[in-house]
Structure 1
Amino acid sequence: MVLRRRWDVANHGVEHLPEAGPVIVASNHVGLMDGPLLAIFCPRPVHALTKREMFEGRTGHGLRAVGQIPLDRTEVDPGAVKTCLRVLADGGVVGIYPEGTRGAGEFHHVHAGVAYLALVTGAPVVPVVNFGTRPPGGGMNALPPKSGRIDFVYGAPVRVEPQPWPRTREQVRATAVLLHRELVAHLDRARALTGRDLPGPITDLSPDDVVATRPVSTKENLHD
């Protein structure tokens, strides 16, 4: 209720989100409020991968209390992977930002972690695009303007056949290419549906965030 008094938040296409069972929600990432708003307004509880720097002090206690998952973005993080697999095995929803960090939100860079999780679990990947969570030209921590419209657009699930161990780099790479294509196609559909566009690149990215935007090759990425 507090957030709705500040912003006009709307969900589109929530019928695409399965009502039960494991789901991977893969969203573009443009602003500071993406994660909190997705977690609060998604029809199902979301356990989102969140950079570990956010898990400090009082904020960290709050994030852990609502089931968010700390992630080391500088290298493969087996602990985060195991937590995601546990959430999915229990029939929950994992939220992931395949681009790795906030940016233009165009899905120019997509990490292979989402492909790995889909291959291991067979959980459907539901693409999500958000508009309005950062004003055009806004910096890394810019907030949406008061009374601004925020749209979350859910797309049809992308289903990947689960692969038994050992999963090869080629399988992960091919699945990542498939998901990348589907995410970009959903962005086009979301633009057409809402008549909206993204806010453009962030100009005040830190060096750590620039590194996080580089796609991780399957050679460097997740393996059993």
Structure 2
Amino acid sequence: MMTIAQPGPVRSGLVEWPHRVLKPVLRRRLGRRWDVHVTGLDHVPPAGPVILASNHVGWLDGPVTVITSDRAVHALVKHESFEGGAGRLLRLGAQIKLHRGRTDAAAVRTALRVLRAGQVLLVYPEGKRGDGLVHEVFGGAAYLALSTGSPVVPVAVIGTREPGADIESKPSSGQRVDVVYGRPLTFAAAPWPRDAGSIAAASDRIADALRAHVQWATDTLQRDLPGPPPQQDTFA
């Protein structure tokens, strides 16, 4: 059984106590519905800032990664998700509201606050859900890594959407879901101003590592990704 790391209070970061209180309950619920396997958690540093850079195929990607992590994870989540009961849970867990399709300065400031406080940030470099193979990658993760010197851990999530299923769908009950962590990439903090060339180079490095990790995870586990969804995710 996984345990939840309990570091000392982070005064300048986002609240973490709800993770310690709610995760045991949410893990049990998750485990009753799906066959969840987590590997490579030892690649995530036990303390200090970390960026988790994940592929993105379905609705369950964020919840399963946050709930099964040993550390409290603060994810960048599209603003449309902050409605109803799910929105209340996201706010309680100090997840970060993100307006996609434009530079969301408030979300960037909060993400930097998380990392500068030595906390864990989850990002999806593609910015949307797709087939999981990691195609076009934007520069946000690279900017955050260079701004703070945070290591970037690639994450492959497999099984959270079934072939042909909608991007908002959940896998069938009992479906196996894998969360696989890879070796971290290290980045030195770059002084201001960070030029476009250095951000592009760092972004390419993150993209290449994430693609390779997803390929390794699917080959090793002998599992397939779901392919493109019939309903494409957009920035609208």
Q: CA deviation at 1:211?
A: 4.2
Q: CA deviation at 1:210?
A: 3.1
Q: CA deviation at 1:107?
A: 0.6
2:142 paired residue among 96, 101, 115: 115
Task: Specify the alignment match of 1:195 in structure 2.
Answer: 222
Task: Specify the alignment match of 2:100 in structure 1.
Answer: 73
- The C-alpha deviation readout for 1:4-50, integer Å capped at 9, x for no partner, is 01101010111101001000000000011111111101111110000
Counterparts of 1:37-186 in structure 2, within 5 Å, are 37-186=64-213
Equivalents in 2 of 1:211, 1:3: separation in Å? Answer: 29
Equivalents in 2 of 1:204, 1:78: separation in Å? Answer: 28
Equivalents in 1 of 2:184, 2:167: separation in Å? Answer: 30
Equivalents in 2 of 1:140, 1:13: separation in Å? Answer: 26
- The C-alpha deviation readout for 1:150-207, integer Å capped at 9, x for no partner, is 00110000011210001101111111111111111111211122111200001112xx
Look up the SS of the partner of 2:230 in the other structure. Answer: coil
Question: Retained in 1: the 8 A contact 2:128–2:235?
Answer: no
2:42 paired residue among 8, 15, 40: 15
Normalized against structure 2, the TM-score is what?
Answer: 0.86
Equivalents in 2 of 1:94, 1:131: separation in Å? Answer: 20
Equivalents in 1 of 2:86, 2:234: separation in Å? Answer: 24
Equivalents in 2 of 1:13, 1:59: separation in Å? Answer: 28
- The number of residue pairs the alignment matches comes to 209
Gaps of 5+ in 2: 1-27
Equivalents in 1 of 2:193, 2:222: separation in Å? Answer: 44
Task: Specify the alignment match of 1:210 in structure 2.
Answer: 234
Normalized against structure 1, the TM-score is what?
Answer: 0.91
Equivalents in 1 of 2:70, 2:39: separation in Å? Answer: 11
Which 4+ stretches in 1 moved above 2 angstroms? 56-59, 209-212
Equivalents in 1 of 2:207, 2:168: separation in Å? Answer: 26
User: Which amino acid letter does the alignment assign opposite residue 89 of structure 1?
Assistant: R
Equivalents in 2 of 1:20, 1:137: separation in Å? Answer: 39
> Structure 1 residues 6 and 58, CA, compared in 2 at 3 Å: closer, same or farther?
closer
- The C-alpha deviation readout for 1:67-93, integer Å capped at 9, x for no partner, is 100001020011001101101111100
Equivalents in 2 of 1:117, 1:32: separation in Å? Answer: 24
Look up the SS of the partner of 2:234 in the other structure. Answer: helix
1:33 aligns to 2:75 (yes or no): no
Identity in percent: 49
User: Which amino acid letter does the alignment assign opposite residue 210 of structure 1?
Assistant: T
Equivalents in 2 of 1:6, 1:44: separation in Å? Answer: 22
Gaps of 5+ in 1: 213-224
Equivalents in 1 of 2:59, 2:235: separation in Å? Answer: 18
Equivalents in 1 of 2:33, 2:214: separation in Å? Answer: 26
